[in-house]
Structure formats: C-alpha cells, structure tokens
Amino acid sequence: MSDRQLHVAIVGATGAVGVEMIRCLERRRFPVGRLTLLASKRSAGKKARFRDSELTIEELTPDAFAGVDVALFSAGGGISKEFAPHAAAAGAWVVDNSSAFRLDDDVPLVVPEINPDDARHAPRRIVANPNCSTAIALMALWPLHRAFGVKRVFASTYQAVSGTGAQAIEELAAQSRQWASEKTGAWDDARVSTPPAVYPHQIAFNVLPHVDAFLDNGYTREEMKLENEGRKIMHHPAFRASVTCVRVPVFRAHSLAISAEFEQPVTPEAARTVLAGAPGLRLIDDPAAKAYPMPLDLAGQDDCAVGRIRRDCALDNGLAFWVCGDQLLKGAALNAVQIAERLV
C-alpha cells in the first residue's frame, strides 16, 4: 500500500454501503490524508464521523474530484455513469459499486482474492465491484474451480432486505412490529393490514422469489449476474449458472445454496481441504454439532463462510454447499476498499 496519505472521496456517503465504506477505511487503516464525502443536494450539510473528526457531507458535482486519488462510488448506476468519468478525468482511480460498468470490456471486474491483477489493467481508470451475491458465491466457488474445474452451477439465493436499502430494513421492522401488535398470538395469520411500499408483497414472515426486474428469458437481471459476472471474474467463458434469487425476511447478510458440477472428481473431504485454505473464507461445516454458516453470525463480519458440504446426488462430479456473507461488506464496501488497496 502507498506510504503517502491519499485524498479519498466517497460518492453516496449517506447510504448503507457508503457508511460501511467509511468504517472500512478507518478499520483497515487505509492511508487517508483527506476524506471527501459526497451525496445528493438533499443530503449535503449532514455530518459523518471519520476517525476523531466530524465531516460535512458535500454536494456531488462534476468538479468535486479535484485532487482526489481514489473515488469510491455507491450511489446507483445512473450516478456512476454521469460522474465516474469526471472523477477519472480528474486523475482519480474509481472503484464503482454499481452495475454500470461491470460488463464493459475495458473495465475490470474484481474480487481481490480471485483476480487482483485485473485491477491494474483499467485504461479508463475505472474498476467495477461485482454484484453482492456473485462476490459471496465466488468466495467459495473460486477455490473449488481452481482445484476441480467448475462447469456449471444451480443456485438459490437468500437475500437480506438491507440489499435493497434503509427503507426496506424499516419496512421489515415495521411489518414485524405491526404483526406483533395486531395478532396477539394468532400465528396462523401472518398478514399485516398496511400495504407494502418497498416490495411488491409483504416481506415479514414471507419470502419473495423476485429480486430485480424480470427479463424475456424468465430470469431476473439479478439472477443472470452470477453467470455473466462469474465468467469475467474467473476468466471462464464457458461457466454456466442457473439461479433463483429470493428475498427473505433477514436484515443483513446474504446466503446461497449452490450445487456445482466439476470437470474433475471431487469429494467432500477434498473440498473441505481446499476451502479451509481459501483467503477470506471460513469453513463452518459440522452438521452433527449443528454448526453451519448463518446470516445472524456473518452480519458485520469481513469473511464469508461455507458449510453443509456434501456430494450432490443429481450431478456427475457434483458438490452441494451453503455459503453466507455480509453483502454490505464483502458484497460491497469491503471489496471496494480492498480493490482500492490494490490500486494504490
């Protein structure tokens, strides 16, 4: 990492991921000499703490990046497309958390534990952060691919509401409180009277097999990301993934159930050996002792975790496993800061 102190900007500093970026910079002792926090005009003037200082949120404008060395973006694809080129033109390295540039040929898509060197081949000075579920899945899938050669996966996600934002967190909390006050123990009726605002259906005591917009092929955009982004990150153009993305009433940390088919024979014992040595990944795999990864335990943790490892009885050379990780950290803020560490 650079010895000199850097000028860092965070775009979307008041959002859930932006807040985690501030914390990651401080916790990982990133060499920040000056931190500029940028957000919409509506949020300008608000305060945020970094180290022992209170900083004022500034309005995002095209000329806000003068002297910035690293700009971390997490304010949505439209904002990234408009303002990331301004940051790069001003000389900053841009790490973008949106989907705006992920599949562009001249923008590397990086998970530092997998393809760190790709970050240095960024002619536009923009590096993309992958989708949160993709990042968490590949933390377990990549070491297995290196050992056994993955061909295809079938996966279902269990995605926390914080992936949608602060309003979704409050909607789940409010619906849960309302049910407790209205039903007085009527467990057989889980509906609440207030219509949902964030999701198309009630999320409390429910699961929604619907994350992002539906495409003509019947999948959602979110469901296609593991295949499309996985191919680019792993440099594996033949990789195939059939995914069903599900929103669940969990506040934080995503989980995935994955069945993977490999080129080479694989056993659970061999897989555990490989996974136990993978960086950024913990092995929690003792079902007899009821030990397996859970979002309640992974929330707020940098590492992802994998468990429930077993032979897949429906696939040749198949392995089934369960992986869990904090989507605000490894799926977003932490991964972005790790990329920035590589760049500087």
With contact defined as beta carbons under 8 Å apart, do 10 and 72 qualify?
yes
132 flagged as catalytic: yes
Rounded Cα gap, residues 170 and 162, in angstroms: 9
Residue 175: φ, ψ to 5°:
-65, -40
DSSP string, 228-253: HHHHHHHT-TT-EEEEE--B-S-SS-
Torsion angle of C-alpha atoms 146, 149, 152, 156, degrees rounded to 10? -40
DSSP string, 162-222: GGT-HHHHHHHHHHHHHHHHHHTT-TT----SSPPSSSSS--TT--BS--S-B-TTSSBHH
With contact defined as beta carbons under 8 Å apart, do 138 and 335 qualify?
no
From 132, 245, 304, 324, active-site residue: 132
313 flagged as catalytic: no
Provide the 10 A C-beta neighbour count for residue 115: 17
β-sheet bridge partners, residue 36: 9
With contact defined as beta carbons under 8 Å apart, do 128 and 96 qualify?
yes
From 24, 254, 304, 324, active-site residue: 254
With contact defined as beta carbons under 8 Å apart, do 255 and 158 qualify?
yes
Residues designated catalytic: 132, 254
